[in-house]
Amino acid sequence: MVNSKIDEFKLFVKANPFLITYIRDGKKSWQDLYEMYDIYGDNEEYWNTYLDDTNKKEENTRDSSKNTSSNNTSFTNHLDELIKMAKNVDVDKVQEGITSLQKTLALFGDLFANKNTSTNGYNPRPLYRRFDD
């Protein structure tokens, strides 16, 4: 029966769900895994390499959860540096910069406003208009 080998592969994958992570990560396709199963079968020596990689990933995720406390301290360090930089800012210079920017924007606004109003005031006469005498 043709489907017997496929059914065996399905049972093998159900028994070894670590293989699904390789599919989700994009490292392998179902076709690749099936071909390996067809060649090696249930040989544990071959499939242990995949199992070892999966165990390493799980250990890394556990280690990263332990590192969250160190991430929190690095976040507070960055926040402290940001506060120190904010304390060193000269507010008067910032205000002068904002004022000059406002003046520049007002100048451009006046230039474009004058262009638009000058063209709106002119209404040309229609051509070929006949006058009734």
Residue partners of 16: CB distance under 8 A and separation at least 6: 47, 51
* Cβ-contact 13, 33 below 8 angstroms: yes
Q: At residue 14, does pLDDT exceed 80?
A: yes
* Cβ-contact 7, 34 below 8 angstroms: no
Q: At residue 118, does pLDDT exceed 70?
A: no
pTM of the full structure: 0.39
Query: What's the whole-number mean pLDDT along residues 98-103?
Result: 93
Tens-digit pLDDT profile for residues 34-81? 888 888 887 777 777 777 666 666 566 555 555 566 677 888 888 888
Q: How crowded is residue 19: how many other Cβ atoms within 10 Å of its Cβ?
A: 20
